[in-house]
Structure 1
């Protein structure tokens, strides 16, 4: 099985055989950007996320969710999905793929105890907020700074009081 990084490198190398309705060749800088996005995933996680998004036949485990959210990020995840959708193989199921991609992202964010950025803030349940570790709190702060989630005022460990 291929990793997401290898898969994207193969997709990127096949630009010359793209259909006439395809948006055209990818600029070297965008190609590099997409390859960099994909390289942030462990090969096994990349494979699992790829098959979960494009075929719906794999479950993404929490460790892979952590890599997706922390290392790849929402913008890269969406951009990689959009790029692969330009291939004719997936054109007929693009709506389902986009829905699966968003569901996988949202499920990963929720499984990590974060809030999904949807335009409407969702508070993290108090019991979950109390279980945050320092590492999770740091990750939440980074996601807030990057604009990948909303601050609903329930972020961070509680002092027990």
Structure 2
């Protein structure tokens, strides 16, 4: 995961930032992978900082993953 894509992903899921770019979706899906994505979300949530928004964050995480996977599959990346 590149720093830029990591920041985009974090901001998109944990804050109200724009969608992850197509290029970063490729990094997320192909290089980071679903297990690492899930672990990343789990670790950040374990800090307790976002506890009051856990359900929303999990929903946004799932939506971001599905959107990115769809972009990667459509582009044949």
**Considering the TM-score relative to the shorter chain, is it more than 0.5?**
yes
Aligned to 1:63: 23
Task: Name the larger-Rg structure.
Answer: 1
Unmatched tracts of structure 1, length 5 or more: 1-40, 115-130, 137-161
Write the deviation string for residues 1-56 of structure 1: whole angstroms up to 9, x where unpaired.
Answer: xxxxxxxxxxxxxxxxxxxxxxxxxxxxxxxxxxxxxxxx1111110000101113
The root-mean-square deviation of aligned C-alpha atoms, in Å, is: 1.5
Aligned to 2:64: 104
CA distance in 1 between partners of 2:10 and 2:23 (Å): 15
> Deviation of residue 103 (structure 1)?
0.4
Check the 8 A contact 1:52/1:59 in 2, yes or no. yes
Alignment of 1:6-155 (within 5 A): 41-113=1-73, 132=76, 136=77
Which one has a larger percent helix, Structure 1 or Structure 2? Answer: 2
Aligned to 1:154: none
CA distance in 2 between partners of 1:58 and 1:51 (Å): 8
CA distance in 2 between partners of 1:90 and 1:47 (Å): 16
CA distance in 2 between partners of 1:104 and 1:77 (Å): 10
TM-score, normalised via structure 1 length: 0.45
TM-score, normalised via structure 2 length: 0.91
CA distance in 1 between partners of 2:48 and 2:73 (Å): 36
> Deviation of residue 59 (structure 1)?
1.7
How many residues align structurally? Answer: 77
Q: After TM superposition, where is structure 1 displaced by more than 2 Å over at least 4 residues in a row? A: none
